[in-house]
Amino acid sequence: MKLKVASVASVFGTFFALSSSFAYAELYSCKDASGRIITSDRPIPECAERAVKVLRNNGQFQREIPAPPTEEEKRKAQIEQEKQKNEARLEDLKQKEERYLQAHYSSEKDIELMRSRSLEELRERIRLGKEQMTMVTQILAQLQAEQQNNAKRSATEVSALQHRASEMERSIKKTKSINDAYEAELVRINAQYDETLKRYREIMNKKR
């Protein structure tokens, strides 16, 4: 008798387990390429590239498996990811710049002092270049004046004067080119320190 009771209990237990399993079984449903709705108790190969609804076996909606991203969506996602990386990189550089400025300058006067030191050598080079051009220009004027009186000079002397005049002209041109580069660097350094001063003021205002 006990054996029969145990057997009956075992049967009911197995039936209950199967019933529970069946009650919570999942169904997959999607539309194929032709718009036909397909339903199955397992993942549907025809809908591998489409959104799939997951239902209980009683038809109740449970969740949705989204369609895999298209190539265009992948491309946009990659662009957005790169954008976020660049923004994070710029923010990191900004933070490093702020720490650097606070560590190296205790006031705006420090920045102006560094500006002055950075520009001092360039200004001196520009001054010397201008003096050299003035001196060479004067020598060239003398040579040109001498060239005008060719009647009293031999062909060799005239040729030597012309050669020296050409050298003076090349020297003036070269010195002017160098000075122009120094002037451009002067503008660049000034702009750099203007930006440093602006950033320093922003940081100090933010701390107040």
Identify the band that residue 81 occupies on the pLDDT scale cut at 50, 70 and 90: very high
Q: What is the pLDDT of residue 17?
A: 43
Q: How confident is the model at residue 110 (pLDDT cuts 50, 70, 90)?
A: very high
- Taking the C-alpha atoms of residue 46 and residue 64, their distance in angstroms, rounded to an integer, is 16
Res 198: pLDDT: 93
Instruction: Name which residue leads in pLDDT, 159 or 153.
Output: 159
79-to-86, 147, 186 alpha-carbon distances in Å: 11, 70, 39
> What does the DSSP assignment read for 10-23?
HHHHHHHHHHHHHH
Residue 67, CA distances (Å) to 50, 59, 73 in order? 4, 21, 11
Q: Which residue has the tokens 């550089």?
A: 93
Q: Grade residue 172 by pLDDT with cuts at 50, 70 and 90.
A: very high
Six-digit token string for 148: 């005008």
Sign of the dihedral through C-alpha 152, 156, 159, 161: negative
Burial degree of 30 (CB within 10 A; 0-12, 13-18, 19+): buried
Q: What is the mean pLDDT of residues 36-46?
A: 84
What is the average pLDDT across 66-81? 90
- CA atoms of 53 and 37, how far apart (whole Å): 11
Residue 59 vs residue 30, higher pLDDT:
30
H or E element: which one contains 201? Answer: helix 155-207
**pLDDT band (50, 70, 90) for residue 143:** confident
Can you give the pTM of this predicted structure?
Answer: 0.52
pLDDT band at residue 151, thresholds of 50, 70 and 90? low
